[in-house]
Structure 1
Amino acid sequence: MDNSQASSANRNGNSRRKTKSLNPLSHPFCEHSAFAAIDLVLLVLVLIALVVLAAPYFKFIFRESYEVLPVAIEVMGEVMYQAPVAYAAGLVFMFATVVVAWEFFSYHARKCGKPYCKGLRKAVEFDIQLESEECVKSLPRLPKDAFGARPLDLGQDHKELEAELKKMAPLNGRTVLTFRSPCGCPLGRMEVWGAKRARRIKK
């Protein structure tokens, strides 16, 4: 019994030591760090020394800018007074150039890389197109991946959505549901055919 109690005590002590060693906050260096206060004081002293050393430079820059800025503004005012239209036109041209460059780069950043990408800002998430029998007959036969969108597979909701789209489809026509990315390119496409028109039997 004494041996079993001693072994259990040793196990408990070892497990406590292991948990303490695994916890980074219970590291002996963190518990017995006598130099933490000294490090903090040294950091504060270094920051104060940097501020004291940089203060004369900031004062010099402030004085020079305080003396130079009024002269520069006066010179610019005289120059612009001589030809105000030219400078106003230059400012407008610079502003228009910046706006056009921003739109150009943002447009190319929005494009996903597909050949016919429109690069829209925020296109509609999906659109539904109803195609009648005449429309389907006039359209050429295309492969499934011709529009750059894979067939949709919505899992459990697939059958319910297919039933709703079938109700919307015209006779002998189809309903096309297309999901789109923010740039306008199709992500997924779903085609559901409507009810077939009953053929009349000639007597």
Structure 2
Amino acid sequence: MVLERLELAGYQVAGASTRAGALALLAAERFDLVILDTLMPDALDLAGYQRLAEGSAPVLFLTEPTSLDGLCPWLSLGTADYVLKPLRMPEILARVQVLLHDRGAEPPERTPRHTGLIMGDLVLNDATCQVWRGPRELCLSPTEYRLLRCLLLHPGQVLSKEQISRNVWGEDGARADNTIESLISRLRRKVDREAPPLIHTRKGFGYWLGPGEGVGSQ
């Protein structure tokens, strides 16, 4: 999720899900910044942190409050920073910009309305959490924003209510069918209010996003 959001914000990224993969990337390529989740599988031990701290790239740790004491020696060097979980993407983006600025790296060139997820005249910008349909900026709640983002990530794909619930509220956030139907209706009124419909219903299966005629509605 973090890598995806950084890429949408205009950064070039590469990722690894294990310690071995991270160390292989560091050995093979030069990076302006390293972002490390301290709870990743087979996470780096203290020796691994030392190697990162001695490298040329600053480090941003994504960590739990209980892990801060172990990171203090590296944070005090001035070439590292941290973001506490639960993660908030605006905070991560802000810390990334500060670390890159201190290093002298140029931020990615982007304009507020043309970076992110796009379908026709519908634009979702993860860097600013804003959405436009043509010239009209949409006022979405956080839940509506997450739903629209989920649909934009799967264009033309019918998503079941179970899939939508999992993407919007998380693995442990199951919602009743009528809750999802109500959320879809609210989002549809905002997105499709003054333009050809993009949010469609496949009755008995779920919902999909894309140009074309809808199949039923709720």
Shared fold, TM over 0.5? no
* TM-score bucket of the superposed structures, by smaller chain: under 0.3
Identify the structure with the greater helix proportion. Answer: 1
TM-score (norm 2): 0.20
Query: Which structure is larger by alpha-carbon Rg, 1 or 2?
Result: 1
Identify the structure with the greater strand proportion. Answer: 2
